[in-house]
Structure formats: C-alpha cells, structure tokens
Structure 1
Amino acid sequence: MQVPTPEEIRDKRCELKLTQADIAEKSGLSQSMIARIESGTVDPRVSTLKKIIDVLNQEEISVITARDMMHSPVISVSADETLTATVAIMEKNGISQLPVIEGGVAIGCISESAIVNALDEGRIQKMHAHNVSDFMEDAFPTIPPSTPIETVIHLLHSHHAVLIAEKGKVAGVITKHDLIGMITK
C-alpha cells in the first residue's frame, strides 16, 4: 500500500468538497492537525493517517449515486412477449432476469427462477404457448438517479435489480453484479 502524500490528501479532500474541519470532525482529529498534515509540517502516525484515509474513502463512496452506476439502455420485455423470445433474450445477453416495461414504466419482472419454478410445477407445457404476463413477478424497485449508492446496496439485499427512472420513465438499471464490479475497480 502506498502512503499518500500531503498534496494527495489535500487534493482528495478538495475533490470531495470537504473542509479540513469536516475531515477533523469525522476522524476525531483536530482541524489544526489536518492542516499541518496537508502542509507537510508534521509526519503523522500511521493510525492518524488511517483515520483520515478512512474518512476520505467513506466520503468518496457517499458521493456515488445511482446515475453513476446505472446501465443504459435497459434490456427489457413487454408483458405480451413470448417465453421463448424472452429466454432467447436472457441467453443472448447473459442475464437471469428482465424488467417488464410498458410505455417506459416498469410493471413487473420475469426471471429464470420464475420460469424454472413454473416448469417444475408443470404449469408450462410449451414455451411458445405462454407470454411473460403468465409468469410475471413484482417489478424491481424504482428510484431517482440522485439516490445514494448506499440506498441501492440496501435495496439489492432483497431484489435482483433496481431500476432508475427519469421523468417517470425507466432510464437505467443496477444489478448485484454491478456492485461486485465496483469492488474490483
């Protein structure tokens, strides 16, 4: 791990639009200590530096919004799409669930799990004879683009995906896989 220079600490703080007082309050250090570290007049302990870095990292995560993470355009199906065509879309795109959208508004979702459960229960005899509406589940939660990523993470604990709506129409999607990708960046 590379130790950040005083200039890097100051630049990151300014990039996040934080004051030295903000960092001091959140880290439990004094504002004067933050100022001295940023100016390079003091060589801080590792534990002190860690407190500052932890605050900067947490604040950086806090400024990420749904808009920053969303994928667009959203791959979706309509309620009257056949299961055969829906499964083909899932296979082609390597996804396991799709939002069901009518007129730009989410009305439900269809997932591999719902299709497999219906097969297992004997409710599907021939795929081409059924439409998405026959096995549609509740829609994914829909949020505005300005929603903090922490809220998205919370929603993804109990949903496969989260839809982002602008002006009442679905504009993007975030999945659990997208969050995992965020870790590796």
Structure 2
Amino acid sequence: MTETTQSAAATSPRIPTVREVMHGPVISVTTEDTLWAAMDKMVATQLHHVGVIDGDRALGLISDRDLAAVWTLDPLGLKQHTAGHALAATETTFVASDTDVITAGEQLLKHRRDALLVVDEDGTALGVLTDRDLLTVLLGLRRPLR
C-alpha cells in the first residue's frame, strides 16, 4: 500500500451496515388485516411504515403514502381492503441486515421507495431502513450528531 493509499484509508469513515442504523422491531400486520388496522398501528406508533407478515415470514412493507393513495381513490377503501391487497399494488424491496448503507441507499433510489424492509436469511423481518436513517448517517459523516 502506498503512503497516499494508507493516508486515504486512515481518514475514510467506516461505512455502517443496515443493522446499525435501521429501526426495529418491525411493527406489523397480517395479509388479512385491513388497511384501517395498518393505519391505526402507524398512528399509534408514530411510524410511517408497517411490515406485512405471514407467520414469521416478511412479505412486504406498507407506507402511509400507500394508504393515502388508497384513501384518495376510495375513502372507504381503508376499511374494505386488506394489507395483502395493498401489497399487490406496491413493490417491496428487501435488504439483508449486513448490507452496507451505500448499497441500501442505491436500492432505495433504484426502486424509488423511501424505506426498505430488513430481513434475515430466513425471511424474518428484523427492521425498517428509511431514507431518514440514511440521511442521518450521511450527516454523521460530516459532523457529530446532536
């Protein structure tokens, strides 16, 4: 390794993994729960996303934006449609907890989502990684967070 390479490596910040910055555990609903129940959980926990699970297996992620889209088209839809129905209309991107945050950020941009569902090798939901989590990491690289 040259002196320049050693110096750059010494000053480069360590890139954290998704596990280090995600939120968890996942607040979840089942495929049979109504979107109203999903909204109720979001309001009660002040979160913008709920996971959809089947037993222990993660199936997807529903956001408050997804719920707003349903409500805009059909105000009664939140009580009539299930979380499983909403998953059919959204693309959920999963990410492993040991993925670095740069790769996870690239996935967010590629899939045009604001959050990723973090899963283990068995497909069990571990947490949620949001664009806000990644922004916090980015700002932490520039200066200490308050």
1:148 maps to what in 2? Answer: 100
Unaligned segments of structure 1, at least 5 residues? 1-20, 28-51
2:32 maps to what in 1? Answer: 80
Unaligned segments of structure 2, at least 5 residues? none
Work out the CA distance in 1 between the residues paired with 2:66 and 2:97.
Answer: 28
Decide which structure has greater strand share: 2
Work out the CA distance in 2 between the residues paired with 1:161 and 1:147.
Answer: 14
- Stretches (4+) displaced over 4 A: none
Alpha-carbon contact 1:78-1:102 (below 8 Å) kept: yes
With normalisation by structure 1, the TM-score equals 0.61
Alpha-carbon contact 1:65-1:148 (below 8 Å) kept: yes
Percent of matched pairs sharing the same residue: 24
2:5 maps to what in 1? Answer: 26
1:49-60 residue pairs with structure 2 within 5 A? 52=7, 55-60=9-14
Work out the CA distance in 1 between the residues paired with 2:12 and 2:104.
Answer: 16
Deviation at 1:55, TM superposition (A): 4.1
Alpha-carbon contact 1:140-1:160 (below 8 Å) kept: no
Work out the CA distance in 2 between the residues paired with 1:56 and 1:180.
Answer: 23
Q: State the superposition RMSD in angstroms.
A: 2.4
Say if 2:56 is the partner of 1:104. yes
1:89-128 residue pairs with structure 2 within 5 A? 89-122=41-74, 124-125=75-76, 127-128=78-79
Deviation at 1:88, TM superposition (A): 1.3
1:47 maps to what in 2? Answer: none
| Deviation by residue 1:118-174 (Cα, 9 ceiling, x = unmatched) | 22223x426433322232343532222221221011112222212222231222221
Work out the CA distance in 2 between the residues paired with 1:91 and 1:82.
Answer: 14
Instruction: Give the number of aligned pairs.
Output: 136
Say if 2:117 is the partner of 1:163. yes
